Amino acid sequence: MNLTIATLQLAICSVESEIRKYELMTQDESATDEDIDEYGHYALDLSRALGELGQAYTEERKAYPEYPSFEDMLVKFKQNAAGAT
């Protein structure tokens, strides 16, 4: 099964958003050490998934060069997210 480039973009943005959320949760002073450890591990798992999605996106993008590179898409997403906070 092949995912469309648009589906990959949505998945990448969603995973990146979740990574940020869990990284922020590791900074929560009211969280237990166990919670912080769990949040950190989950953020790492999400980072690995993001890498796999990035590889799939880069491969699919060969047929759609008008789409931004994986790196450019992440930069733009992070800039938009920073502006929203």
Which of the four pLDDT bands, split at 50, 70 and 90, describes residue 81?
confident
Separation of alpha carbons 1 and 55, rounded Å: 15
pLDDT for 47-78, tens place per residue?
999 999 999 999 999 999 999 999 999 999 88
